[in-house]
A and B are shown apart, each in its own frame.
Chain A
Amino acid sequence: MTLWTTVLLASGLAFALKLLGYVVPHHVLDRPVVSRVTAMLPVALLSALVAVQTFTGQGGVFTLDARAAGVGVAVVALRFRAPFLLVVVLAAATAGILRALG
């Protein structure tokens, strides 16, 4: 898949899902099971993305490096209710500085 195909396909599907809520008869989507699964999907996917992108290196093996320190600082910042951009910048700065120090 080329990058453009990925970009356009992901965009098309995202729009189709948004529109679905407006055009599908209400009783089809309005079930407790549907809302429970859709509420939990972002939690599972985002958490898995954090885990994989923080703790895995080449070939998916468990790796502990500057990224883990950066994300650790991000979690502390989130506990102190830091805004999104500050959280991201602190994480990047931590990892960048640790690497520069070797």
Chain B
Amino acid sequence: MGEPLLDGQRRKEVLRQCLSVGVATGTYGISFGALSVAAGLNLWQTIALSALLFSGASQFAVVGIIAAGGSGAAAVATSTLLGMRNGLYGLQMSRLLGVRGLRRVAAAQLTIDESTAVGVVQPERSAQRLGFWGTGLAVYVMWNLMTIVGAVVGNALGDPKRFGLDAAAPAAFCALLWPRLKRGDARAVAAVSAVIALVVAPHAPAGIPVLVAALAAIVAGLLPQRTGPAPA
């Protein structure tokens, strides 16, 4: 559409970013695959989650809640609330990509934290598109391959508790949470929602406390800005 094409040097730079993010992110598909089979999902269900759902935090939430004895409904609800941010990423990317038809369906499926991040930081329009598609595809391929490796390894390990896999799930959530805690209001929301979840936990079925804790985010988002951290 009349934009200047990237020169070879820039093209290489962007593609290198795509690949390094793809490899770094894809590798932890191993932990997803292992946790998923430990939670009681079979190999095909595990593969289906990575191929179809394709959003790390939501996938970890589904298997984490199933493993803890939560209902399917609670797992689906938590996964869906976690996936809402992808809708906003789609909004940003739709302006930059200008895609229609099947390409739009493919772009939507590849719309995740990493592809959006690498896309939007590029200064030129053609690099934004290359960054998004390159990262999305690299993460998709690596994530799905590593999921299979993790599921096969997980099946071979047997009893998940013996290898501390029940500590691996909250550690994975910690690692996903960590980069989002840079701002003070985010840390306040994290603290309040953790307390809410622990207080509700003895009185509600597994999976529900996490959904109740999501209220902290809604309250914090609705409060007028610049009023400091959300109150408990």
> Footprint of B on A, CB under 8 Å?
1-15, 17-24, 26, 29-30, 32-56, 59-62, 66-67, 69-71, 74-75, 78, 83-85, 87-100
Contacts and interface: CB of A to CB of B under 8 A. Distances in A.
A62 B64 contact: no
Contact of B99 (A7, A22, A67): A22
B108 A60 contact: no
Contact of A85 (B31, B49, B165, B173): B31
Interface residues of B, number: 103
Nearest to A82: B175
B41 interface: yes
B167 A38 contact: no
B214 to A, nearest CB: 5
Most chain-B Cβ atoms within 10 A of its Cβ — which of A10, A42, A93?
A10
Contacts of B214: 41, 44-45, 48
Contacts, number: 329
Contact of A38 (B84, B176, B213): B84
B91 A41 contact: no
A71 B1 CA distance: 50
Contact of A48 (B75, B86, B178, B210): B210
B222 interface: yes
Most chain-B Cβ atoms within 10 A of its Cβ — which of A5, A11, A32, A93?
A11
Contacts of A61: 201-202
Contacts of B175: 74, 78, 84, 87-88
A28 B202 CA distance: 39
Contacts of A70: 164, 167-168, 170-171
A72 to B, nearest CB: 10
Contacts of A87: 171-172, 174-175
Contacts of B135: none
Q: Tell me whether chain A's interface is mostly helix, strand or loop, or mixed.
A: helix
12 contacts: A3-B41, A7-B49, A22-B93, A37-B222, A43-B186, A43-B193, A44-B190, A48-B214, A60-B201, A67-B164, A88-B175, A91-B168
Given A6-B66, A42-B57, A45-B81, A1 B73 contact: yes
A56 to B, nearest CB: 5
Contacts of B220: 36-37, 40, 44
B194 to A, nearest CB: 4
A54 B201 CA distance: 12
Contact of B193 (A1, A48, A59): A48
Interface in B148-189: 161-178, 180-181, 185-186, 189
